[in-house]
Amino acid sequence: GAVVSQHPSWVICKSGTSVKIECRSLDFQATTMFWYRQFPKQSLMLMATSNEGSKATYEQGVEKDKFLINHASLTLSTLTVTSAHPEDSSFYICSARARGAGELFFGEGSRLTVL
């Protein structure tokens, strides 16, 4: 299947700092990318949908000014957690869909720990 890569795999930061997570589709062009968040022992919660070249669509309850999403190219989307706090500590996962394809492919996830 298609490959989606996330970087970094894990990151530890101090409270108040901002963290950027990258999501890349390595062997296909991703017209749409999705960002999920997963807390321990819970299911994945969709945060936002990002289409290349346009603003992201955020799910209800997700602060767009806190979780900045950029999808500037067909192979890269970034999620920036601004002014991170301990409650933002979570497993962040992206997924991507190729043009005209049905299934979504997921990245390996990025574990964020805010101290």
**Closest CB to another protein among residues 89, 106:** 106
DSSP 61-81: T--TTTEEEEEEETTEEEEEE
* The amino acid at 66: K
49 lies in the binding site for another protein (CB under 8 A): yes
46 lies in the binding site for another protein (CB under 8 A): yes
Alpha-carbon distance of 4 to 72, in angstroms, equals 16
Alpha-carbon distance of 41 to 5, in angstroms, equals 23
Q: Minimum distance between the CB of residue 103 and another protein, rounded to whole angstroms?
A: 5
Candidate residues 7, 11, 13, 32; the one interacting with another protein per rule CB under 8 A: 32
What residues between 51 and 110 interact with another protein by CB under 8 A? 91, 93, 95, 97, 100, 102-109
| Inter-CA distances, 34 with 31, 48, 54, 71, Å | 10, 6, 13, 10
**Site residues (CB under 8 A) for another protein?**
1, 4, 6, 32, 34, 36, 43-46, 49, 91, 93, 95, 97, 100, 102-109, 111
